[in-house]
Structure 1
Amino acid sequence: MSRDHASISSFLDAQAAEAGAARNTLLAYGRDLRDFADWLNARGQAMSTITRDLIEDYLTHCDAQGLSRATRARRLSSIRQFTRFALEEGWREDDPAIRISGPRRARSLPKTLSKDEIAALLTAAPTIARNAADAARNTCLLELLYSTGMRVSELVGLPVQGCRGNPEVLVIRGKGSKDRMLPLGGPARIALAEWLRHRDDAPDKSPLGRLVAGPEGRWLFPAPGAEGHMPRQSFGRMLNQIAIAAGIDPTRVTPHVLRHAFATHLLEGGADLRSIQMLLGHADLGTTEIYTHVMDERMKELVLNHHPLARVGGPDTRRTTQQSNNGTHGRPFE
């Protein structure tokens, strides 16, 4: 292992132990910093001697590669975390990344689904299953995700013990190892109980029965593999099949879109932003405020498509005609 890669490993270990960084965050840090280290090494430089100019040259290189603004912003963030750690550990006497302004992320509206589309997905979930147990699992996965708005990594990593006893709330361990409580709606509780029944009654020699009896049995959704539970990628593929069965473009349906749908539908139902922030596990209320823009867009669409004054031939047209006949000029509805 090179000296640079060894220092990156030390940084990642500290992030995991002291900052409680999630596994996916650590993987992203590792990828970004190793790419930067390799770029430096190709130029005869090292992580221990990086300067502000080198970091800015690297960001220019990333831009020339066609990397998105979000990816470049994330790579700069990874470098900042590392240089701050190096300063705190005494590896350096300065922080060369502290005053670098990175590319601002474009703030796009979150994609979401209508309530009818969510209903169609829930109806289609059991239809792609091979057996009754798989049907119960598929329904449980979707009901839990839409009922709670949890992240897909939180969903597939649910321990089974916290899901027994017909719970009214689930305790979720999210980013930064922070716990939050998520209420369960009636349909989600029914789906959870049905899946647990199939899970617990699985024959010993069946694939599911062997998983439940093994170390994978500690997870609500056990699966073969290093993690012992259903991988996020497997859930994504299953969701793709469900979307097709529901007659919805699968490119519009992702685990995160279901999370957006949960928040958007709550806001439409009158929930306040602070409550939605707590349910989603957002550290910053500003992150949650993006959903108000979704509501603004929907309200605008409702007015333009459904208000009588917005329709050609509607009351506004008649009013304009009447005003014109009276010698005045009406102003069309905008």
Structure 2
Amino acid sequence: MSKNLVSRPELIESTGTLGIQADVYTNSLTKNTRRAYTTDVCEFFGVSDLNQVPLHQVQSVTVASAMEFRDRLLAEGKALSTINRKLTSLSAFYTFLSRHEVGIMEYNPFSAKEGLARMRQNKRYSNTRCLTVDEVQMLVRVTMEGDDLEALRNRIIVLLFATTGMRRAEIVHILLGQIRRSHGKDIIEIQGKGDKERIIVISPTIKVMIDNYIKMRGLTYENKDHYLLASHTSNARHFEEESQEPKPISTQTVYNVIKKVAERAGIHADDVSPHCLRHTWFTEALESGIPIQDVADMGGHSDLSTTRRYDHTKRVIKNNPADMLTNKFLGMAD
């Protein structure tokens, strides 16, 4: 047992679990990070609630067992990005436990400094499907078919993905209080991946749609703590009663919306996803001539090489000489 743990017995629950420290940890995370990180930690320990994690099991984790977990995920065929995200979640958890005022661990077994290497991702391209302009227009047209709450909401979802490049988790957590005017533009101030803040500009056309949508729900921008996107049926009058605490639409619901819209538009649903629309935004933004550093900043990429993957993919395909050389070598060249 950690000597720090012995010296701070008031931090230990009588049940032998993390107890109150689990609540302290989750409260130290922002709302955008909390669900993903705690889910990863619970998965590692085989529990459904962080409060249930046994202290003895927490303290028994070593660099070797962390490596075994990483290698097992790899053997299961998990994506390298998924493995790295889970390792990051667990590293953040153990960094918290290693803090002096917590005193449950003396070191972080998931830290790279302790020898746990992350999976190297050498992909220079993105294999996510990029939609054409015509296909995006087809998606939007489908959402124009109705004038009820659900149709208007779905229209806003599709257009926010396609015109701003926001991530799914970022879109579902937009609060009405984050939408305002600045420098003559309508903007949304969001807290994105890694809890990094950034400004999203929305077009006047989409702002009008948003205005109409929140008005149909009986809300105004004074309802700052209400989420922009609501979960409701097409015949719902309001998102919720005044007495209820505002809740965001789920990321799964947004995923399902994109799939259903794609199916109705006649586009193979397996080829379309929220990230597919985000990819399309990156590709079109770069294609329009916006400097890659600006595109990276607007899209929330901290590493420019991530943005280059989108540019690299299109250039390799678009500029490939396969057709020209085929004609040449077959004697079909002009």
Please indicate the TM-score interval, normalised by the length of the shorter structure: 0.7 to 0.9
Change beyond 3 A, Cα 1:92–1:247: same
* TM-score where L is the length of structure 1: 0.73
Q: Does 1:143 align with 2:162?
A: no
Contact map agreement 1:222 1:230 (CA 8 A) in 2: yes
Change beyond 3 A, Cα 1:213–1:173: closer
Aligned partner of 1:257 in structure 2 is 276
User: In structure 2, how many angstroms separate the alpha carbons of the residues matched to 1:192 and 1:221?
Assistant: 13
Tell me the number of residue pairs that the alignment of Structure 1 and Structure 2 aligns: 296
User: In structure 2, how many angstroms separate the alpha carbons of the residues matched to 1:49 and 1:59?
Assistant: 17
Aligned partner of 1:220 in structure 2 is 228
1:1-334 mapped onto 2 (5 Å cutoff): 3-6=16-19, 7-14=21-28, 16=29, 21-23=30-32, 25-38=33-46, 46-63=57-74, 65=76, 67-89=78-100, 90-97=103-110, 98-105=114-121, 107=123, 109=126, 110-127=128-145, 129=146, 131-163=147-179, 168-175=185-192, 176-185=194-203, 189-197=204-212, 199-200=214-215, 202=216, 208-209=217-218, 218-223=226-231, 224=239, 227-301=246-320, 303-305=321-323, 309-312=324-327, 317=331
Contact map agreement 1:69 1:106 (CA 8 A) in 2: no
Q: Which structure has the higher relative contact order (CA within 8 Å, separation 6+)? A: 2
Contact map agreement 1:157 1:229 (CA 8 A) in 2: yes
Deviation at 1:121, TM superposition (A): 1.1
Q: Tell me the C-alpha RMSD between the 2 structures.
A: 3.6
Contact map agreement 2:178 2:224 (CA 8 A) in 1: no
Q: For structure 1, list consecutive stretches of 5 or more residues without a partner in the other structure.
A: 203-207, 321-334
CA deviations on 1:246-303 (whole Å, 9 max, x unpaired) are 11111111111111111100111111111001111222222222222222233245x4
Q: For structure 2, list consecutive stretches of 5 or more residues without a partner in the other structure.
A: 1-12, 232-238
User: In structure 1, how many angstroms separate the alpha carbons of the residues matched to 2:57 and 2:120?
Assistant: 27
Contact map agreement 1:240 1:250 (CA 8 A) in 2: yes
Deviation at 1:243, TM superposition (A): 0.6
Contact map agreement 1:151 1:256 (CA 8 A) in 2: yes
Deviation at 1:61, TM superposition (A): 4.2
Residue range with higher mean Cα deviation, 79-88 or 276-285: 79-88
Deviation at 1:8, TM superposition (A): 4.3
User: In structure 2, how many angstroms separate the alpha carbons of the residues matched to 1:275 and 1:221?
Assistant: 27
Taking only the aligned residue pairs, the percentage that are identical comes to: 21
Residue range with higher mean Cα deviation, 64-73 or 46-55: 64-73
User: In structure 2, how many angstroms separate the alpha carbons of the residues matched to 1:79 and 1:161?
Assistant: 32
* TM-score where L is the length of structure 2: 0.73
Bigger helix share: 1
Contact map agreement 2:180 2:187 (CA 8 A) in 1: no
Q: Larger Cα Rg: Structure 1 or Structure 2?
A: 1
